[in-house]
Amino acid sequence: MVEYIEDKDLAGVLDLHLDSHTKYPEFRLIRANNIGVRALLKVDLKADGEVKPCKNRGITLKRLGDPERVLMPDHPAFLLIVDSGKWNELNSTQRNALVHHGLSQIKVDKKDDGTVKLGKAAFDYQGFLTTVERYGPITDADLNLREVMRTTGTKLAKMVEDAGVHKSKTPPPKEEETHIEQGEAELPPPRRKK
């Protein structure tokens, strides 16, 4: 049997990541565009009432459609679903890392016409590294993947240098061109059928 419940501690960790402008600049586009995110614990019980062990990382990001958004308070665009068994195994730092990892999957793109397109990003190595660098690995697999990525990156940089490939002469975009001000682009409210 599977149940989804709200958890005060989980909500607190989520709020910490989304309300702190200086500590988590990587989530500024989520904050600047008022993208709603809610979090629930998934309790998956065996027939005997024991919690089933988690088979993956323990967190899933779900993009909510309009019908789902209408039914939830505050009409969030995304839902973080956290495995309760995993959550209960983690210490405070690991819980922060798990939520950070989940939020890092939110993709916010501002179009030329000012509208905002939301999506779920594919696995992002830089986002993963940012989470691991900030909090440390949650699992041994995280530690191993971090080391493989660092080694590969170093080898790739050396190959590029040896091949004589130079950096592009195109200057990077100016900060003001990439910054989105608070309220500049709004997520439309969910559509309701009549």
- pTM for the predicted model, two decimal places: 0.69
pLDDT digits (tens, 9 = 90+) for 111-155: 889 888 998 887 666 677 778 778 877 666 666 776 777 777 777
Indicate the pLDDT class of residue 68, thresholds 50, 70 and 90: confident
- Give all strands (DSSP E) within the chain, no chain letters: 2-5, 37-44, 59-63, 78-83, 106-110, 116-120
Residue 63 has pLDDT above 70, yes or no: yes
Residue spans per domain, the chain: 2-123
Distance of alpha carbon 181 from alpha carbon 138, whole angstroms: 34
Query: Which SS3 state, helix, strand or coil, does residue 91 take?
Result: coil
What confidence score (pLDDT) does residue 1 get? 85
